[in-house]
């Protein structure tokens, strides 16, 4: 609206200043006509402009304005000189300077432009200040997009589970925020910056919100990537704005998500220039150093890559407190499920501990998703409450994607898929060190035509045997197809990718191969984190690659042998799968024991 108004005013002034010029616009005359005028005896005076070879003169006119002005361009220097001579001869007074009143006119019209610009500029400044008070506009480049999310306690520690150590460590900060000066009195040193690190969805944002909520202070949140914009200097000014707001609101929590977007390790800037990110990082460091540690601002930042952060950022007095937010373990998962199921109507037989067992490897955000899906599934089925089976389906959906009911497999494809999955299942059940199978299905879901779900235990370290068993289970699908049909299909590409990755990890990084030994060979990365290849000699590389291939071939052969030996069980499992489409742990065990 305001913009339209301004465009209007602008156009008006533009026309006006042009009109002003026009009042005094001399009549344009062709070069050949100049002499006729000079010889007419009416010319009152001439102005010669040498640089542009312009000739201007005035003649009396009949009607007002009483003087008529003319202008013409001389046809060349010779013509110009001739005209000067003619004026001299005709005794017409002439002058090389522009007439003063023309000068004033042009000054006046230029002044209009200046006024216009000044007014425009003032208007822009006003817009900017409006933004500080929260109203938007098109020119607010420098404004931090920090949102004031929770003025009042919204989340508390009761909303967070599965990261008890992190919660414990963070409680101290709540005490500080509740009483900053009291804390200072006893000389306690409170970190200015707390870095939360962990996988996405583990609850880092939630923890920061809970800190603000518990302390009853405002929560200012922003994202590191918002600092990095096209315009140089914008990021830095946003950082300053953010802290400016924080100072006004203190005590408060400032939360910067994805801090790695700003805080990546610095390199040697190409061309010696400071790039936008570095300026932003500098501004951030400056702000962190600048504020008094007892002023009641706690800066919390989150990342899932603490290893790529610039050392300057994690130096004492900055983000010197680092707290890991881990993936939740069994009890943690159960508690998180309980938190999110608070408002769900659950059936009497629902056992969230079982759901927790079924969701190994999931983070808080996934678990929240599982509860939501379960409720949706039950609602869609018009049930009065959510049942265990709804949770089970929700877990599959969250981990594998929705079931693809539209996919119609041919009988042949179905058989193949059944043998493929039966292969995974049998290998998992019969290989020492493999995780037991929880469920196997040939209902297509997400990109997979079927899947075998194992139940890993919460482990903190894995043995070589267990890793090899994982690889064996991965390749067993294809092995079963080969055993049964003598040919292989495309359905297993992901299996082999996983198997190869596991083996690479074992051989390259964990020193788990007899021949290549105990050295660690890691991918090198450049400053931006892009891989630049393996940190090893060409000969070693070849050795490593060969080791992976040999090992994979050996494991594959062993699995094939196992499946040939147990082909009865394989047939029976596949047959049952074709019939029932899904088998649970008990059914699987019964089939294997019976044959
Ligand atoms: P992050 O910041 O680590 O990526 P978030 O805090 O944004 O993760 O988590 C997203 C959502 O997932 C949260 O709002 C919360 O509902 C749920 N969630 C994640 N972790 C937990 C947890 N430990 N306890 C309870 N809920 C969680
Ligand atoms: Zn498979």
What confidence tens digit (pLDDT) does each residue in 4-53 have? Answer: 556 666 666 666 555 555 456 778 888 878 888 888 878 888 888 877 77
Domain at 49, CATH number: 3.30.720.210
CA of 542 to the centre of ligand 2 (A): 28
CA of 200 to the centre of ligand 1 (A): 8
Share of the chain above pLDDT 90, in %: 32
The 8-class DSSP code of residue 312 comes to: G
For residue 499, tell me if it sits in a domain: yes
Kindly report which listed range (76-80, 133-137, 286-290, 462-466) carries the lowest average pLDDT score.
133-137
d(CA 339, CA 350): 15
For residue 86, tell me if it sits in a domain: yes
The encoded tokens of residue 168 equal 């414990």
CA distances from 223 to 238, 256, 302 (A): 11, 5, 9
Highest mean pLDDT among 292-301, 478-487, 550-559: 550-559
Do 209 and 148 meet the contact criterion of CB atoms below 8 Å apart?
Answer: no
Share of the chain above pLDDT 70, in %: 84
Residue 159's closest CA among 300, 25, 342? 342
Same domain, 334 and 468: no
Same domain, 506 and 487: yes
pLDDT band at 69 (very low <50, low <70, confident <90, very high): confident
- Of ligand 1's listed atoms, the one at least distance from the Cα of 257 is 2
Counted domains in the chain: 5
Query: Which ligand ends up closest to the CA of 365?
Result: 1
Do 18 and 60 meet the contact criterion of CB atoms below 8 Å apart?
Answer: no
Query: Which ligand ends up closest to the CA of 149?
Result: 1
Same domain, 430 and 557: yes
Q: Name which residue leads in pLDDT, 340 or 315.
A: 340
d(CA 227, CA 318): 19
CA of 66 to the centre of ligand 1 (A): 85
Mutate-to-test residue for ligand 1 from 170, 334, 364, 398, highest number of ligand atoms within 8 A of CB: 364
Name the residue with the closest Cα to ligand 1, atom 6: 203
Domain at 516, CATH number: 1.20.58.760
Q: Name which residue leads in pLDDT, 132 or 531.
A: 531
Same domain, 264 and 195: yes
Same domain, 503 and 528: yes
Same domain, 278 and 339: no
Same domain, 541 and 583: yes
Average pLDDT over residues 258-284: 71
Domain at 387, CATH number: 1.10.8.60
For residue 285, tell me if it sits in a domain: yes
For residue 3, tell me if it sits in a domain: yes
Question: CB under 8 Å to 242, separation ≥6 — which residues?
Answer: 144, 146, 220, 222, 254, 287
Pairing of strands 45-49, 94-95: parallel
Mutate-to-test residue for ligand 1 from 368, 372, 373, 398, highest number of ligand atoms within 8 A of CB: 368
pLDDT band at 231 (very low <50, low <70, confident <90, very high): low
For residue 528, tell me if it sits in a domain: yes
* Residues known to be catalytic: 421
Same domain, 227 and 284: yes
Mutate-to-test residue for ligand 1 from 201, 223, 330, 342, highest number of ligand atoms within 8 A of CB: 201
Q: Name which residue leads in pLDDT, 127 or 466.
A: 466
Inform me whether the pLDDT recorded for 131 exceeds 50.
no
The 8-class DSSP code of residue 301 comes to: E
CA of 428 to the centre of ligand 2 (A): 12
Query: Which ligand ends up closest to the CA of 328?
Result: 1
Residue 241's closest CA among 222, 216, 260? 222
What pLDDT is stored for residue 481 in this prediction?
93
For residue 480, tell me if it sits in a domain: yes
pLDDT, tens digit, 9 for 90 and up, residues 183-207: 767 776 677 789 999 999 999 999 9
Domain at 319, CATH number: 3.40.50.300
Name the residue with the closest Cα to ligand 1, atom 24: 160
Inform me whether the pLDDT recorded for 311 exceeds 80.
yes
CA of 453 to the centre of ligand 2 (A): 11
Query: Which ligand ends up closest to the CA of 366?
Result: 1
pLDDT, tens digit, 9 for 90 and up, residues 80-107: 888 888 888 888 888 776 555 566 777 7
- Using a 10 angstrom Cβ sphere, with 0-12 exposed, 13-18 middle and 19 or more buried, the burial of residue 532 is exposed
d(CA 538, CA 550): 18
Which residues line ligand 1 at a C-beta cut-off of 6 Å? 160-163, 200-206, 302, 336, 339, 364-365, 368
Do 46 and 59 meet the contact criterion of CB atoms below 8 Å apart?
Answer: no
CA of 362 to the centre of ligand 1 (A): 11
pLDDT, tens digit, 9 for 90 and up, residues 317-343: 888 889 999 999 999 999 999 999 999
Mutate-to-test residue for ligand 1 from 195, 206, 339, highest number of ligand atoms within 8 A of CB: 206
Q: Name which residue leads in pLDDT, 595 or 465.
A: 465
Counting every residue written for the chain, the total comes to 595
Is the pTM here over 0.85, yes or no?
Answer: no
Question: CB under 8 Å to 65, separation ≥6 — which residues?
Answer: none
d(CA 578, CA 524): 47
CA of 420 to the centre of ligand 2 (A): 6
Query: Which ligand ends up closest to the CA of 480?
Result: 2
Name the residue with the closest Cα to ligand 1, atom 14: 206
Same domain, 170 and 89: no
d(CA 432, CA 185): 61
What pLDDT is stored for residue 594 in this prediction?
86
Give the count of beta carbons closer than 10 Å to the beta carbon of residue 70.
18
For residue 239, tell me if it sits in a domain: yes
Give 300's strand partners: 194, 255
Tell me if residue 452 falls in helix, strand or coil. strand
Given its phi and psi angles, is residue 129 left (phi above 0), alpha (psi -120 to 50 degrees) or beta? alpha
Same domain, 436 and 546: yes
- Residue reference for tokens 């984190």: 529
Same domain, 178 and 287: yes
CA distances from 188 to 180, 334, 449 (A): 10, 36, 59
What pLDDT is stored for residue 10 in this prediction?
62
For residue 280, tell me if it sits in a domain: yes
Do 421 and 588 meet the contact criterion of CB atoms below 8 Å apart?
Answer: no
- Of ligand 1's listed atoms, the one at least distance from the Cα of 339 is 25
Query: Domain of 498?
Result: 411-594
Q: Which of 369, 400, 431 is the last residue of a domain?
A: 400
CA of 385 to the centre of ligand 1 (A): 25
Same domain, 350 and 270: no
- Of ligand 1's listed atoms, the one at least distance from the Cα of 209 is 6
């Amino acid at each position: 609206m305001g913009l339209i108004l301004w465009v209007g005013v602008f156009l008006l002034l533009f026309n006006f200043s042009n009109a002003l010029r026009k009042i005094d616009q001399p009549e344009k005359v062709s070069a050949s006509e100049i002499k006729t005028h000079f010889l007419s005896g009416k010319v009152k005076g001439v102005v010669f402009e040498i640089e542009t070879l312009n000739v201007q003169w005035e003649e009396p006119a009949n009607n007002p304005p009483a003087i008529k002005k003319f202008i013409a361009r001389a046809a060349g220097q010779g013509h110009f000189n001739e005209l000067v001579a003619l004026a001299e001869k005709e005794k017409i007074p002439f002058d090389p300077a522009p007439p003063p009143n023309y000068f004033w006119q042009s000054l006046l019209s230029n002044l209009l432009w200046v006024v216009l610009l000044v007014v425009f500029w003032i208007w822009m400044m006003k817009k900017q200040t409006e933004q500080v008070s929260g109203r938007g506009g098109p020119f607010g480049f420098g404004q931090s997009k920090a949102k004031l999310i929770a003025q009042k306690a919204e989340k508390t520690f009761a909303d967070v589970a599965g990261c008890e150590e992190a919660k414990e460590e963070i409680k101290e900060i709540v005490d500080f925020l509740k009483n900053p000066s009291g804390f200072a009195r006893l000389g306690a040193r409170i970190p200015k910056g707390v870095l939360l690190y962990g996988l996405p969805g583990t609850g880092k944002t939630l923890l920061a919100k809970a800190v603000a909520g518990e302390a009853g202070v405002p929560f200012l949140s922003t994202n590191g990537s918002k600092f990095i914009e096209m315009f140089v200097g914008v990021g830095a000014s946003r950082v300053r704005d953010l802290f400016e707001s924080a100072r006004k609101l203190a005590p408060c929590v400032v939360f910067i998500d994805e801090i790695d977007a700003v805080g990546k390790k610095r390199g040697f800037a190409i061309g010696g220039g400071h790039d936008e990110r570095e300026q932003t990082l500098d501004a951030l460091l400056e702000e962190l150093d600048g504020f008094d540690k007892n002023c009641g601002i706690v800066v919390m930042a989150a990342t899932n890559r603490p290893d790529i952060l610039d050392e300057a950022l994690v130096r004492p007095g900055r983000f010197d407190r680092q707290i890991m937010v881990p993936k939740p373990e069994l009890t943690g998962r159960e508690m998180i499920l309980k938190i999110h199921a608070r408002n769900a109507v659950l059936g009497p037989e629902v056992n969230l501990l079982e759901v927790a067992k079924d969701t190994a490897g999931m983070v808080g955000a996934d678990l929240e998703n599982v509860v939501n899906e379960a409720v949706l599934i039950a609602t869609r089925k018009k049930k009065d409450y959510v049942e265990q089976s709804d949770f089970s389906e929700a877990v599959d959906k969250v981990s594998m994607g929705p079931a693809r009911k539209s996919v119609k497999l041919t009988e042949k494809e179905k058989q193949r898929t059944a043998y493929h999955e039966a292969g995974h299942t049998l290998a998992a059940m019969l290989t020492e060190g493999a995780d037991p199978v929880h469920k196997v299905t040939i209902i297509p879901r997400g990109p997979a035509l079927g899947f075998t779900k194992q139940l890993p235990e919460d482990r903190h370290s894995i043995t070589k045997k267990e890793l090899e068993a994982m690889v064996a289970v991965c390749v067993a699908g294809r092995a079963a197809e080969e055993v049964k049909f003598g040919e292989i299909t495309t359905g297993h590409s992901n299996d082999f990718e996983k198997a190869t990755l596991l083996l690479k990890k074992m051989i390259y990084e964990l020193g788990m191969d007899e021949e290549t030994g105990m050295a660690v060979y890691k991918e090198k990365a450049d400053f931006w984190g892009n891989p630049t290849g393996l940190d090893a000699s060409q000969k070693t590389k070849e050795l490593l690659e060969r080791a992976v291939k040999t090992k994979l071939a050996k494991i594959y052969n062993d699995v094939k042998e196992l499946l040939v030996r147990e082909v009865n069980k394989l047939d029976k499992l596949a047959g049952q799968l074709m019939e029932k489409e899904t088998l649970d742990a008990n059914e699987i065990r019964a089939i294997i024991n019976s044959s």
